[in-house]
Each structure stands twice: as C-alpha cells, then as structure tokens.
Structure 1
Amino acid sequence: MALAKLRELPGRISSGGFVLHSGLEKWKAGPEQAAGVYGMATTAYPFLKRVPQEQFVKALAAGEIATGVALLTPFIPAAVGGALLTAFAGSLLGLYVRIPGLRRPGSIWPSQQGLGIAKDVWLAGIGVGLLADGVTRD
C-alpha cells in the first residue's frame, strides 16, 4: 500500500483538517446552528426537505468527518480523497450558485454575504488536483 506523495501533503492536511473540524462542529451543533445549516441546504437543494433536520445535520457531519479523515490518512489513495473532497466542495459551490443574495446581481462574483462560501472554491481546486494526481502516473 503506497503512502501519499509528499506533494499531496499540504493540500491533504489543510483541506482535511478544515473539513474534519467542520464536521466535528456540526456533529455537536445546537438547534440554532442546525437550523441554519438545514435552511441553507434545503434552499439550495429542495429535495432535502424530505430528510428531518436532525438526521440531515448528523449525516452531513458524518460525511465531513469521513472526508476529513480520508484526506488526513496517508494510505488512503489520492484519487479517493480527491473524489470525496471534490464532491463535498461541489455541493458547497452549489449553495453559492443556488442561494439568492450570495452573488452580485448578474455576476459570478460574490456579494458580501457570499464571500465565505465562494472561498470554498479552494477546496474544489485541491480535490480536483488530488483526483488528477491519483489517476495519472508520473
């Protein structure tokens, strides 16, 4: 079993630590934080309204924790960690595109309210980079 390449480590550690921390915070989310997370998610992805709020937040937290751990575990292949991170970041960028008020009118650029989510594009970049590194040979 191969270990992560040295060039992968900065992206894996920074994104893995960030996503793991985010998942741990959501796991212990209080009612107000859970309602906010659920509200944003169901605004962007209305089909999620079929999932009870508490169940959704726990599932999201578990997914983030699993993604963070996969990225921080050096023997998990880059393609696996990259695929998980790319999917996670894609869902965050979906929030950015779908929630009104996060972008300037008629633009892809963020409004002040959307800046925090727009910054998640770095997660997508790291995920795609890991995925590409994992499926190509040197």
Structure 2
Amino acid sequence: MKLTHAPLRVSIGAFILNSGLGKRTLEGEAAAGLHGMAAGSIPQLRQVEADRFARLLSGGEIALGAALLTPFVPSLLAGLGLTAFGAGLVQLYLRTPGMREANSLKPTQAGIGLAKDVWLVGAGLTLVLDSLTHRRFRH
C-alpha cells in the first residue's frame, strides 16, 4: 500500500468495518427491513432468506473493511472491492422508489443517505486507477 493511499483506506475501511460489525446480530424485523430494501432493487435477492442476507452482508462489509485496513492487501484489489461495493449501493439508490426526484438523479430527502455513497465508487476507482497508472510509469 502506498503511503498516500493510507488516509483514504483507513477512513473508509474503519467505517465499513464498523458497519459490518454492527450488522452481525441483525435478525427478525431489522434483517427483514434491510433485505426488503435490497431485494426491492435487486430482485434476485428475494431468493435469499432475510437473516442469511444480513449475515452475508455483514461478512462482506467486515471482509472489505479489513482488506482496506490491511497494508499488505494491494490497493488495486482493495479498490476493486470498494468500487463493486459502492456500485451496489448506487444501484440501490437508483432503483429504490422515493430516493430520487421524478426524472432526475437529484436525491429526495429520503435518498440523501444512499446518494452520498457515490463517494465509495470514486474512492475505489481512485485506488484502482492510481495503482494501474503507477505500475505503467514504473516500467
């Protein structure tokens, strides 16, 4: 990991790790609410039980957060994971009714929490692109 990647990776990694740890005990109504929102925008998730979805999401967030925080995980790999995770959240924002104003990308008040997750995609792409261009210029 490049030293210049550390602030980005530590701040985002700690946030995502904490989010994943907080979801470890989700069950019942809380898991169903999280699952319902995700399944509303990604219909294939309806095939996954709500409690299992919450456990899988928790595990994925813990793994991604830990990867971002671990210095020996290459920034290219951590950036790809972060980009994919952020893209999933942006998809949730774009497909969930009531998150955006009609015929617009502008968030409603309810959509601001998800709309801001576009920064995860930007941060992930920054890590990926910096890793790829850094490699190219070294040779």
Is this a same-fold pair by TM over 0.5? Answer: yes
**Aligned with residue 48 of structure 1, among 26, 45, 48:** 45
The answer to whether residue 25 in structure 2 is matched with residue 28 in structure 1 is yes
Deviation at 1:33?
2.0
**Distance in 2 between the 1:16 and 1:132 partners?**
18
**Aligned with residue 91 of structure 1, among 80, 88, 112:** 88
**Aligned with residue 67 of structure 1, among 55, 64, 68:** 64
Output the amino acid matched with 2:83: T
Q: Mean Cα displacement is larger for which, 32-41 or 97-106? A: 32-41
Residues 79-109 of structure 1, C-alpha deviations (whole Å, 9 max, x = no match) = 0100000000000000000001000111101
Q: Mean Cα displacement is larger for which, 28-37 or 59-68? A: 28-37
Map of 1:114 onto structure 2: 111
Map of 1:9 onto structure 2: 6
Output the amino acid matched with 1:103: R
Q: Any unmatched runs of 5+ in structure 1?
A: none
Q: CA RMSD in A?
A: 1.0
TM-score w.r.t. the length of structure 2 is 0.93
Output the amino acid matched with 1:78: S
Deviation at 1:32?
2.6
Output the amino acid matched with 1:111: T
Check whether the contact 2:26–2:51 (CA below 8 A) recurs between aligned residues.
Answer: no
Q: Any unmatched runs of 5+ in structure 2?
A: none
Count of aligned pairs between the two proteins? 135
Output the amino acid matched with 1:125: G
**Aligned with residue 128 of structure 2, among 104, 124, 131:** 131
Map of 2:36 onto structure 1: 39
Residues 4-23 of structure 1, C-alpha deviations (whole Å, 9 max, x = no match) = 11110111011101111111
